Structure 1
Amino acid sequence: MGVELKAEALGRAAGRDKQIAVPERPVLRRGVRLRRSGDAVMLDGADKRQAFTGKFARESLGRLAAACDGTTTRAGIAAAVNLDEAVVLKSLALLWASGALEEGVRPGESPAVSPELACLLSRLGNSTGVNPSWTDAAARLDRATVHVAGDKDLAEATARCLDGVCEVVGDLDELPVTDDALVVFFETRRSRPELAELRNRCWLERRSLLRVRADGTSMTLGPYVDPAFTPCLECGAADEGDDLPDEPPQQAHDLVAGIVAHHVLALSSRSIRTYLPLDAGIIDLTTLSTRYRPSATRPGCPTCSFSKGTTASVPPSSAVYEASIALPVRKFLDTNGHLAHFHSKNMKLQWQFRDWPSCPRVTLPEADVSRMAGAPPPVADRAGVGRPEVALMLAVAFGIRERSDGWVQRWTAAGGNIGSATAYVVSRDASVLPVGGYAYRERDHDLAQLTSTALPGERPLLLVVTANLKKMGAKYGTFGLRLSFCDGGVALSAARKVADQLNLASSLVTDWDDQVLSEYLGLSTAEEPITAVMEVG
């Protein structure tokens, strides 16, 4: 199923978002075209096929694209096609995000590369969104230097693939120690004894190393090792084992070399997608099915760990999870991925609210945010908690400020503006709320009563924060778990600020029983884990 981007949303964001880099002098990417197909305009030849719909696309998009010759500015294009410049900006933002446009080549700056390579870099350049023009990718390749070592047959096959693409040197001493230099080592049964020395030298000399392991049935591309930001090779390959039963078959040499050359090109040019540098890929040489494995540091590793003590045999699962969702360093950041924020299905998430339709409602007074102004009263004048205080705390920490102009504005920041943190209130004091458990409905600023059963405890109120993993996972996948815990912490910090300002007694609960609270509130620990708990009053 495809994704939908709207020109209106992108155009609104283009003026304020630095990661939406609409070309100043746009030109169609090499090898792409726009064509009319029924009621839509199709984009062919880009890294993914696109369809543009609507009256503007049918009547004006083709002539607007034709005016993008790489030398004319946005204002000049607007004048040429007789359209408002703001409309042109929105349209260009959509075409850029769709992979149709790039920055025009500046006079005298066209690199001397083959037409085929230029077309490849231009057509696939939208895959990462790093290079404004294909010429920037070609310049990166021109600076790149690679040393290929290890298994002789695989090294020679890879060097042939990279010939004419980037510089390949035969001796490590000829390789400069720069960000544009890379060592590739092919580990097979016969070349394995050479790896330890090269691995140690690259780490000591701060050189980037890409290890490729191959046997009779599979290859492992990675880990990529850079002393500046990755674990060492021993940690990255800790769970592989020592068994290399046989050599890769002769007929697989060109396949292995081609895959490696593809990813070296991706690392160097930043115009093609790659799972490097953070993950390794284990590829079956018969079916080409691929599994991905992140690199994580083993606690106690003398090479890359800050912790002291006995070195763990493999990284713990928590470290593997953190490595699997980690963002790459700025050098390898995929800015094109930022556009996911503006996919229609993701923007709709901010408008999705849970309702608890079968539960009775308990009204809350309007949140009086004016009480947050000025200095808090003296501690000696400790206030009691009532419904106005509960309403203000829930509104500021979890509630909606206003809904307008296509955006939901919240009082407290939330990852992706989705609002993954859900608030539950447990009342033990009937003078505040009838005894029982409640869910806060932020859209309507009221409470849904889940149960009237009492929960043991001394404080009048218990605030329980949970993570809506289903909602966060729809946009962020496994990364959503970490964002959900971050959202829970931010929301609870806001609730504590309100409590302090109102001079309410409050204290964090650092050790709670997940099972007891989840059963009481009717939660699934797998789909809606508890992220924070606070006693109030």
Structure 2
Amino acid sequence: MVAEMKAEQIGQAARTDMQLVVPSRPVLRRGVRLRRAGDAVVLDGADRAQVFSGAFAREGLVPLAEACDGSRDHAEIAQKAGFAESTVYKCLALLWSAGAIEEAPEAGAAGPGGLPADDSPWAVFLSRLGNSTGANPSWTRAVARLAARSVRLEGDDALVSAAQRALREVCPLSDGAGPPPADELTVFFETAASAPPLAATEERCRRDGRPLLRMRADARTVIVGPYVDLSITPCLDCGRHGEAELSGELPAPLSDLVAGLAAHHITALLAQAAISHLPSDSTVVDLSTLSTAPRPSTVRPGCPRCSFTRGPVAPQAPAGAVYEASVAMPPRAFLAPRDHQAHYYVANQRLQSQFKDWPSRAHTTLPAPDLSVLAASERHDPSRGEAPLTLDALGLVLKIAFGIKDEETTPERVKRWTAASGNIGSTTAYVLLRDDRVLPAGVYAYAQESHTLAALSHQAPPGDAPCELVITGDLKKVMTKYGTFGFRLVFLDAGCNLAAAREVAQQLGLGFAARPDWDDSDLAQVLGTTPADEPVAAVARLGGRA
């Protein structure tokens, strides 16, 4: 899949979005280069392939990048390259988002054994892969992070020795003598023989408030994690819940593989300069195929260490809790600004302007909304009883809860009346109408862009409300941008839709009540949808009893 981003757009965003930080004295990352390739410019050596197209990219991008040697600010680069400073800023924002540039090294930066040379493999690794998170302005900051944290290795002797060889020139290793630093990371290598002391190690780390990373290895699998820090993660018992028994000892030739996995993730945790599933998830690695499977760390209800509930510990975490853990945002200390850039991909920006239309169905145009009735002075007096449902009232409820602001919407940006995750519009409103005084009874879909109702069926399902709103999630649309996290956003958006519909209904004096339960299969049949692609997120009664 091609992810396209425009310099104009990311440049404008960088001036207002605090998660996008353009280097003030930029320098090319170690191990990367920009080169002409036909009508485009190619970025080599970054963590993913990048191609820059367009007239400016062909003629100006390479000279501009050559001026980024770490000694110049934006004005000096503009003077050197012969471009306007505003143009330079936009290009630098694009180059930063692509992983081509970083901040020039800080003066006086130092690491374990001194700062590595600019062209050393270690410096190149931290610089070119540092863009994986964007958490460090430069590779020297990653070195400083590593130098500031010590690591204690415990557990299986062979794995401890192998990990010491891998990490001795990377970060300080504790010898266990003297009081440990407050932020020391303990890594425990658990095997069938070394497992018994793990409980004491976990208790010590928990008592002292220090983090613990468990590495588990047997004859068939390696499990990286869980990472345990009770200020941000579940406890060890919850994090490893459901694991199979250890199946024999790790084959000796695989010790270096396990130590290498540990070294990578330790570096990622401390330096935040490489990709890691930690601290939120564990990963199970099959030693015969090297395939990996994620395992979210989830709190078990009733756990005395990390659950808010009290009582017996649940035999397993509920499916909903496992899902929530699998899509949860990382703790603040491990946020990845790079991930935030997905908002500005051209394809994701286009999602806001994609609307369902039902072109083969007959459409009824809803009355233009009369916004004046939403003034405080027009609020319905409850003592007068419920007002009757009318087409004007139904149209106003749908417009405010699901529609767009026509006067403020432009081809570049859609403006909505109600909050929507990523401004995508991940929900769809259906109307089950049983009151012929409003419209012929039937099932309708609300077309947001045209403010019309598309007739899906001329027979409404049985019910005691003159009108019901059914809110479904457009998973195919929202997951294009957010993946499985989109399922959660559907319900957040449905909640915003319900809240807006309720406020308008109360303002107009219409009866409104959210339904606590419904039959997904029955509603899917009525709407002609499938729960896998378009799950029902909310249902509400609108209007009085029929």
**Per the shorter chain, which TM-score range?**
over 0.9
Aligned CA RMSD, in angstroms, stands at 1.5
| 2:389 matched residue in structure 1 | 385
Asked if the contact 1:146/1:175 (under 8 Å) is kept, the reply is no
Q: What CA distance in whole angstroms lies between the structure 2 residues aligned with 1:71 and 1:483?
A: 44
| 1:182 matched residue in structure 2 | 185
- AA matched with 2:329: L
SS of 2:352's equivalent in the other structure is helix
- Is 1:505 aligned with 2:511? yes
| 1:409 matched residue in structure 2 | 415
- AA matched with 1:445: H
TM-score, normalised by the number of residues in structure 2: 0.95
User: Mean Cα displacement is larger for which, 526-535 or 89-98?
Assistant: 526-535
Deviations 1:442-478 (A, max 9, x none): 0111010011113323332111111111111111111
Q: Which of 221, 238, 243 is the matching residue for 1:240?
A: 243
- AA matched with 1:284: D
Gaps (5+ residues) in structure 1? Answer: none
| 1:161 matched residue in structure 2 | 166
Q: Which of 118, 142, 146 is the matching residue for 2:123?
A: 118
User: Mean Cα displacement is larger for which, 489-498 or 458-467?
Assistant: 458-467
| 1:436 matched residue in structure 2 | 442
Deviations 1:288-329 (A, max 9, x none): 211111111111222222222221222222211111111111
TM-score, normalised by the number of residues in structure 1: 0.96
Number of matched pairs: 534
Q: What CA distance in whole angstroms lies between the structure 2 residues aligned with 1:69 and 1:212?
A: 41
User: Mean Cα displacement is larger for which, 405-414 or 144-153?
Assistant: 405-414
> Pairwise mapping of residues 137-536 of structure 1 onto structure 2 (< 5 A)?
137-171=142-176, 174-178=179-183, 181-241=184-244, 243-375=245-377, 376-381=379-384, 382-402=386-406, 403-404=409-410, 406-536=412-542
Deviations 1:80-121 (A, max 9, x none): 222222221111111000000111123333652323222211
Classify 1:101/1:508 alpha carbon distance in 2 versus 1 (closer, same or farther; 3 Å). Answer: same
Q: What CA distance in whole angstroms lies between the structure 1 residues aligned with 2:471 and 2:187?
A: 48
- Is 1:75 aligned with 2:75? yes
- AA matched with 1:90: K
Q: What CA distance in whole angstroms lies between the structure 2 residues aligned with 1:457 and 1:468?
A: 25
Q: What CA distance in whole angstroms lies between the structure 2 residues aligned with 1:155 and 1:235?
A: 25
| 1:3 matched residue in structure 2 | 3
Q: What CA distance in whole angstroms lies between the structure 2 residues aligned with 1:405 and 1:86?
A: 24
Q: What CA distance in whole angstroms lies between the structure 2 residues aligned with 1:220 and 1:213?
A: 5
Q: What CA distance in whole angstroms lies between the structure 2 residues aligned with 1:405 and 1:174?
A: 62
Q: What CA distance in whole angstroms lies between the structure 1 residues aligned with 2:289 and 2:333?
A: 33
- AA matched with 2:413: W
User: Mean Cα displacement is larger for which, 20-29 or 197-206?
Assistant: 197-206
User: Mean Cα displacement is larger for which, 94-103 or 203-212?
Assistant: 203-212
Deviations 1:30-60 (A, max 9, x none): 1111100111101111111211011110011
- Is 1:22 aligned with 2:22? yes
- AA matched with 1:97: S
Classify 1:194/1:88 alpha carbon distance in 2 versus 1 (closer, same or farther; 3 Å). Answer: same
SS of 2:290's equivalent in the other structure is coil
Deviation for aligned residue 1:173:
5.2
- AA matched with 1:255: L
Deviations 1:203-222 (A, max 9, x none): 22211111111112221111
Classify 1:395/1:172 alpha carbon distance in 2 versus 1 (closer, same or farther; 3 Å). Answer: farther
Classify 1:302/1:108 alpha carbon distance in 2 versus 1 (closer, same or farther; 3 Å). Answer: closer
Deviations 1:158-205 (A, max 9, x none): 011111211001217542122xx2100011111111111111221222
- AA matched with 1:498: V
| 1:92 matched residue in structure 2 | 92
Q: What CA distance in whole angstroms lies between the structure 1 residues aligned with 2:303 and 2:381?
A: 52
Asked if the contact 2:106/2:140 (under 8 Å) is kept, the reply is no
Asked if the contact 1:238/1:313 (under 8 Å) is kept, the reply is no
Q: What CA distance in whole angstroms lies between the structure 2 residues aligned with 1:277 and 1:359?
A: 50
Q: What CA distance in whole angstroms lies between the structure 2 residues aligned with 1:477 and 1:319?
A: 18
| 1:101 matched residue in structure 2 | 101
Asked if the contact 1:147/1:172 (under 8 Å) is kept, the reply is no
Q: What CA distance in whole angstroms lies between the structure 2 residues aligned with 1:271 and 1:126?
A: 7
Q: What CA distance in whole angstroms lies between the structure 2 residues aligned with 1:372 and 1:25?
A: 52
Classify 1:106/1:222 alpha carbon distance in 2 versus 1 (closer, same or farther; 3 Å). Answer: closer
Q: What CA distance in whole angstroms lies between the structure 1 residues aligned with 2:486 and 2:358?
A: 23
SS of 1:71's equivalent in the other structure is coil
Q: What CA distance in whole angstroms lies between the structure 1 residues aligned with 2:178 and 2:535?
A: 54
SS of 1:192's equivalent in the other structure is coil
- AA matched with 2:98: S
